[in-house]
Amino acid sequence: MRPPRRGWSGASQAVRLVVRIAPKSVSLLWAFGTDETSSAVSIAQAEATSRTLEFLEERAAVARQQTNGVRRRVATRGFAVAAFVHRTSRDGDPQLHAHCLIPNVIQRAVPMMSGPGP
């Protein structure tokens, strides 16, 4: 069995982080707009985050399966994602963004959990 793949720091990667950040003008519109405008911006940001994750799933959610020494990529049902929405930067100014944690595990199209392929 091969050791787990190593990330830039040399540690194995149990999770990937994707951050979807709204442009500053959008964050300012959310912060200083009317309640109706802020609500519309929040909904748009959530939809943009969802579309971003769908894009990644369509292109990157694959698993590897090895049979008789032959490794191949197989279909999956997509990622499991935990998303956390933040509304300010570390400095406290308006900055709508979502941290999306994608664990190093996916569900194959046939019921079985597996690590994702390269």
Report whether pLDDT(8) > 50.
no
**What is residue 91's DSSP assignment?**
T
**What is residue 60's DSSP assignment?**
H
Classified as helix, coil or strand, 104 is: coil
The pLDDT score that the predictor gives to residue 2 is 47
Tokens matching residue 12 = 């194995």
State which H helix or E strand residue 88 sits in: strand 82-88
Write out pLDDT tens, residues 60-78. 888 888 889 998 888 788 8
The pLDDT score that the predictor gives to residue 10 is 52
Residue 86 lies in a domain: yes
- Domain range for 40: 15-114
Residue 47 lies in a domain: yes
**What is residue 69's DSSP assignment?**
T
Number of domains in the chain: 1
Write out pLDDT tens, residues 87-99. 999 999 999 999 9
Tokens matching residue 64 = 């590897």
CA-CA distance, 2 to 15, in Å (whole number)? 19
